[in-house]
Amino acid sequence: MTIESWQRVHPVHALWYRRNPFDERSTLRLLRSLDEELDWQRPDITLFGKRHPIPRSQVWMGAPDRRYRYSRTLFIPSPWRADLAELCQRVDAQAKALAASLGWPVPAPLDSVLINRYQNGDQRMGWHSDDEPELGFDPLIVSLSLGAARVMRFRPRPGTAGEPFGLSLEHGALLVMGPGVQRALQHALPPRKGAGLRINLTFRAIRHPAG
């Protein structure tokens, strides 16, 4: 892998995008397989003091001790599927190669994945940063998009300067959110009229499993 395979998304923030690092036929098969075979859940989370079901479906997957908590909800991982465990290793290798090319600190090994399913363009993800204590200080997050293209929006965290911007996440593409991104930015996936099925896998390293 060379740095020329990647596109820098923003002149300041460590956001890097790569189109089609994997074979397109295999990613289309993976999209169908995940859609049909995973035990999709719609857990309740706490927003502004009230419990609501999330506006999408999801699965948290990893080793048995990779527990994760956000919005006051504890997520116990589903066991790894063999194909996703192998994919995690391949994504980890790409992230480490990119980090080495850019002189970033060596990232912790990716060991878990949050898989979100958006049935259509009405389903969405609200503004947030991936900064939970379980992820440690300044985590590296790697996103693989499958299915319909959607625009991810970014904005500075409250109280900081900067302009919002967006990035279209296409089928089969990787997005690496590197050093400083979670401390500087929030991101969201707003609704998109007419969009079809999208499944997104965000690989991460759990440094401090939730109790």
Closest CA to 136 of 77, 79, 183, 74: 183
Q: Structural domains in the chain?
A: 6-37+55-204 (2.60.120.590)
Identify the pLDDT of residue 203: 99
Identify the pLDDT of residue 47: 72
Per residue of the chain (211 residues), give pLDDT as tens.
568 899 999 999 999 999 999 999 999 999 999 999 999 999 887 777 788 889 999 999 999 999 999 877 889 999 999 999 999 999 999 999 999 999 999 999 999 999 999 999 999 999 999 999 999 999 999 999 999 999 999 999 999 899 999 999 999 999 999 999 999 999 999 999 999 999 999 999 999 998 7
Identify the pLDDT of residue 2: 65
